[in-house]
């Protein structure tokens, strides 16, 4: 068995057929798929069961605790492959996705490989989110958002792992309802294991389609990040801290301006950067205007979440 594929699912009736078709038609032929269902109430399970015929390499497992880290930990002990590849049902994959993963393992000799997060959108808003989250102003120097970066890095989108690293590191930290992949990858890096990003590993992710959903997503990213960094302090980066400092600055702004108008200079600089990144791009006017809302939503939501996460002692909501 060359590869084992793991995919957590929950109410994925709109996407699961495409995922199953991709899996069945892709190479290598010798592979297995574990779909771990978190209690779907739609037609997800029925669609999966239609694909599970005699001799099928597709297995449906139950995840009574619903969240992703539990799903991964349920499936991994069943995996027989030399490599374990994680999939996401909301992501589309190029036909040679698995082949490029195997090539990256051979080329890099890394323990973990993956491609960048290529965000695409159907609506103007999604296109704007895809653009904003691929800029340095939006996400700092997070390399897995940069689709042309190739080389060793801190983390990768979704990820594929050599099976034997779980013997060294253990499984995913189930406290991490969000950021479980970051924690695991940081943990791997902290013991000297290599993580490699190859843009030839091609997938396409659809971002949140409303400002409210985007705000909640980035709030949760921030919320669980202090828990990750408290475990692996060597991975603390400026991009993790700056949004929370920005939120504190915003709270202090009215008082600061009463003392001196110079206190408003950082806010003016932020505004200039936001205008430059929002309007000096190839997107249409609606997407450009959307960026004026998206950038502060990313930063403030993450910053609020991070500040709350500093006082969080467990990952379960």
For the cut 80, the answer to whether the pLDDT of residue 116 exceeds it is: yes
What is the CA angle 222-91-83, rounded to 5?
90
SS3 content of the chain, % helix, strand, coil (to 5): 50, 15, 35
Please give the DSSP secondary-structure letter assigned to residue 192: T
Query: What is the share, in percent, of the chain residues with pLDDT greater than 70?
Result: 97
Q: What is the mean pLDDT of residues 88-113?
A: 94
pLDDT tens track for 200-254: 999 998 888 899 999 999 999 999 889 888 887 777 887 889 999 999 999 999 9
For the cut 80, the answer to whether the pLDDT of residue 142 exceeds it is: no
For the cut 90, the answer to whether the pLDDT of residue 145 exceeds it is: no
In this structure, the strands spanning 112-115 and 157-162 are: antiparallel
Q: How confident is the prediction for the chain on average, in pLDDT?
A: 91
Going from N- to C-terminal start, the domains of the chain cover 3-211, 227-309
Q: What is the pLDDT of residue 143?
A: 74
For the cut 70, the answer to whether the pLDDT of residue 55 exceeds it is: no
**Closest residue by Cα to residue 17 from 39, 55, 47:** 47
Q: What is the mean pLDDT of residues 256-281?
A: 95
Spell out the CATH class of 3-211.
Answer: alpha beta
Cα–Cα distance between 285 and 290 in angstroms, integer? 8
pTM above 0.95, yes or no: no
């Amino acid at each position: 068995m060359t590869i084992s594929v793991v995919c957590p699912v929950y109410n994925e009736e709109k996407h699961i057929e495409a995922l199953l078709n991709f899996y069945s038609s892709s190479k290598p032929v010798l592979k297995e798929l574990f779909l771990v269902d978190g209690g779907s109430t739609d037609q997800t399970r029925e669609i999966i069961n239609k694909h599970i015929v005699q001799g099928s390499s597709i297995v449906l497992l139950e995840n009574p605790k619903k969240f992703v880290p539990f799903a991964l930990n349920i499936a991994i002990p069943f995996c027989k492959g030399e490599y374990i590849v994680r999939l996401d049902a909301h992501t589309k994959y190029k036909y040679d996705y698995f082949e490029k993963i195997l090539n990256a393992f051979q080329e890099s000799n890394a323990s973990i490989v993956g491609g960048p997060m290529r965000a695409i959108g159907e609506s103007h808003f999604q296109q704007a989110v895809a653009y904003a989250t691929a800029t340095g102003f939006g996400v700092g120097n997070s390399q897995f958002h940069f689709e042309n970066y190739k080389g060793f890095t801190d983390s990768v989108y979704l990820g594929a792992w050599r099976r034997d690293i779980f013997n060294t590191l253990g499984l995913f930290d189930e406290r991490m309802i969000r950021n479980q992949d970051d924690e695991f990858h940081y943990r791997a890096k902290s013991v000297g294991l290599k993580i490699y990003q190859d843009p030839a590993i091609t997938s396409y992710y659809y971002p949140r389609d409303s400002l409210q959903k985007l705000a909640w997503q980035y709030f949760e990213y921030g919320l669980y990040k202090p828990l990750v960094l408290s475990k692996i302090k060597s991975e603390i980066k400026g991009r993790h801290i700056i949004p929370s400092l920005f939120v504190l600055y915003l709270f202090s702004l009215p008082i600061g301006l009463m003392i001196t108008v110079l206190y408003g200079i950082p806010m003016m600089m932020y505004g200039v950067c936001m205008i430059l990144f929002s309007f000096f791009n190839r997107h249409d006017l609606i997407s450009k205007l959307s960026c004026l809302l998206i950038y502060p939503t990313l930063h403030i939501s993450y910053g609020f979440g991070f500040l709350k996460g500093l006082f969080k002692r467990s990952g379960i909501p």
